[in-house]
């Protein structure tokens, strides 16, 4: 499941952009990340190419005025180090590509495939992703900023659900290109009903028909393509199997084609903006989702208390806290004689070591935060409204 990291790249918060605001954060030039799958897409599902509809929106709507403020000040700026900034070549494109869909549709799997490494955790359970996760795909002529989002649920059951939906809405509001993704094998029409915008479309929009490998029936896939192509809010339909990398190159090319003109927004060698400890916490959360049943994974939040790199042959020391909602869940997480915790620690440690490329000593403690999913202060304190939060929560 886990994609290997193909190259060392920047993960940390290297950007000058937060929230919806844009700034030019050009950094030294970099290599083209062209390690995507070679699969020749849609034909894997059906013989002829589908209609890759043009909407004429690309091209002229670049970022006005971003470069116009340099003016007089440039000459008096002191040298502050770093590589010389290279101007973007003419015709450089950039923008935000939001991936939105119902829980479990395959958003994170697609995002990981496009980026070429495992940025977002993936499990067989719905509502795995809780934050907007940002992944960056750059080459000399473009920069595509992908936003993986939490699944859009039909109902909000608690304040955490509210925060998750808010992050989907924010991602959509910031998007220059929008991908709606539906599971072709599981009520695709119903899924679309819950997603379809009321007021038509605002930006180039494609419907991604995922999990085509589970359909197996060419006629059915054609029928779905035809239906979604007839929707006003959809410019193109892209059939894929994200888990097999089939069709995902088409997705990348479609996004690139429809990105507006714009400057480099993040350092070209960055692949995300989240701090390393965010990914470490996500790895532990993924293992919790895979190991524990029913409500337990959903009642759990992970916080990395500290991560210390130690000299010499010593392993990195990572102290993590797992917050649960009720005292009874502590026993479930720990298990008889600590057996469940042992299993959790060792599976999480193995993936953290792969991610960091270093040996790690992982210490996990379990804490109770009564009803944290319904409590504004706990949600903020545990970093649910800001995945890049670094201050330690009060326990
Ligand atoms: N057969 C098949 N399974 C897929 C495909 N894409 C994703 N999956 C599986 O579907 C499940 C959910 O995938 P995710 O990528 O976590 O889905 P998601 O939309 O991010 O889910 P949430 O974060 O919970 O909203 C996982 O078990 C994936 O392996 C696909 O193309 N074919
Ligand atoms: Mg996800």
Ligand nearest to the CA of 127: 1
User: Which of 109, 110, 154, 221 to mutate for ligand 1's pocket (most ligand atoms within 8 Å of CB)?
Assistant: 109
CA angle 215, 220, 221 (to 5 degrees): 75
pLDDT at 361: 96
Find the distance separating the first CA and the last CA of the chain, reported in whole Å. 34
d(CA 389, CA 131): 12
Is the shortest distance between the CB of 124 and ligand 1 below 6 Å? yes
pLDDT at 234: 97
Give the containing element (helix H, strand E) for 344. helix 339-356
For the CA of 246, the nearest atom of ligand 1: 31
For the CA of 181, the nearest atom of ligand 1: 19
Is the shortest distance between the CB of 104 and ligand 1 below 6 Å? yes
d(CA 70, CA 338): 60
Ligand nearest to the CA of 105: 1
**The whole model's pTM is what?**
0.81
Nearest CA to ligand 1 atom 26: 124
Is the shortest distance between the CB of 105 and ligand 1 below 6 Å? yes
For the chain, list the domains and their CATH numbers.
Answer: 16-50+83-271 (3.40.50.300), 275-381 (3.30.300.20)
Is the shortest distance between the CB of 238 and ligand 1 below 6 Å? no
pLDDT at 71: 45
d(CA 352, CA 305): 15
d(CA 101, ligand 2 centre) in Å: 9
List of E strands, 55-192 = 93-101, 133-139, 142-148, 177-183
For the CA of 121, the nearest atom of ligand 1: 16
DSSP secondary structure code for residue 367 in this structure: E
Asked if residues 160 and 151 have their Cβ atoms less than 8 Å apart, the reply is: no
Is the shortest distance between the CB of 128 and ligand 1 below 6 Å? yes
pLDDT at 78: 57
CA 143 and chain centroid, separation: 16
Per-residue pLDDT of the chain (395 residues; tens, 9 = 90+): 333 333 334 443 333 332 222 233 222 222 333 333 333 333 444 333 323 333 333 333 333 333 434 444 555 555 555 555 678 999 999 999 999 999 999 999 999 999 999 999 999 999 999 999 999 999 999 999 999 999 999 888 999 999 999 999 999 999 999 999 999 999 999 999 989 998 877 899 999 999 999 998 999 999 999 999 999 999 999 999 999 999 999 999 999 999 999 999 999 999 999 999 999 999 999 999 999 999 999 999 999 999 999 887 789 999 999 999 999 999 999 999 999 999 999 999 999 999 999 999 999 999 999 999 999 999 998 988 888 887 878 76
Is the shortest distance between the CB of 191 and ligand 1 below 6 Å? no
Instruction: Decide: helix, strand or coil at residue 311.
Output: coil
d(CA 269, CA 10): 6
pLDDT at 212: 97
d(CA 122, ligand 2 centre) in Å: 6
């Amino acid at each position: 499941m886990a994609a290997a990291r193909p190259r060392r790249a920047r993960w940390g918060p290297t950007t000058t952009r937060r929230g919806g605001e844009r700034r030019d954060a050009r950094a030294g030039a970099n290599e083209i990340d062209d390690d995507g799958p070679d699969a020749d897409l849609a034909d894997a599902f059906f013989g002829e190419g589908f209609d890759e509809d043009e909407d004429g929106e690309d091209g002229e709507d670049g970022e006005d005025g971003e470069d116009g403020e340099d003016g007089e000040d440039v000459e008096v700026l002191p040298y502050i180090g770093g590589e010389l900034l290279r101007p973007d070549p003419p015709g450089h494109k950039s923008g935000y590509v939001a991936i939105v869909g119902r829980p479990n549709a395959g958003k994170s799997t697609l995002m990981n495939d496009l980026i070429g490494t495992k940025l977002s955790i993936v499990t067989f359970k719905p509502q795995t992703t809780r934050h907007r996760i940002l992944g960056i795909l750059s080459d000399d002529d473009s920069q595509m900023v992908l936003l993986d989002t939490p699944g859009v649920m039909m109902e909000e059951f608690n304040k955490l659900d509210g925060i998750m939906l808010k992050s989907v809405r924010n991602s959509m509001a910031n998007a220059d290109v929008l991908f709606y993704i539906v599971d072709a094998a599981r009520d695709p029409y119903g899924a679309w009903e819950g997603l379809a915008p009321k007021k038509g479309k605002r930006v180039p929009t494609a419907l991604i028909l995922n999990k085509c490998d589970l359909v197996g029936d060419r006629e059915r896939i054609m029928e779905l393509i035809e239906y979604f192509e007839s929707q006003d809010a959809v410019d193109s339909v892209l059939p894929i199997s994200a888990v097999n990398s089939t069709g995902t190159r088409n997705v990348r090319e479609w996004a690139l084609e429809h990105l507006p003109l714009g400057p480099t927004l993040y350092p070209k060698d960055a692949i995300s903006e989240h701090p390393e400890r965010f990914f470490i916490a996500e790895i532990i959360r993924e293992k919790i989702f895979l190991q524990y049943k029913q409500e337990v994974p959903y009642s759990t939040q992970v916080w990395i208390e500290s991560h210390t790199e130690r000299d010499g042959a010593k392993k990195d020391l990572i102290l993590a806290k797992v917050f649960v909602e009720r005292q009874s869940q502590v026993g479930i997480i720990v298990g008889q004689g600590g057996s469940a915790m042992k299993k959790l620690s060792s599976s999480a440690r193995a993936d953290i070591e792969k991610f960091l490329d270093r040996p790690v000593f992982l210490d996990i403690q379990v804490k109770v935060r009564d009803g944290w999913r319904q409590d504004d202060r706990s949600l903020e304190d545990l970093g649910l409204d800001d995945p890049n939060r670094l201050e330690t929560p009060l326990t």
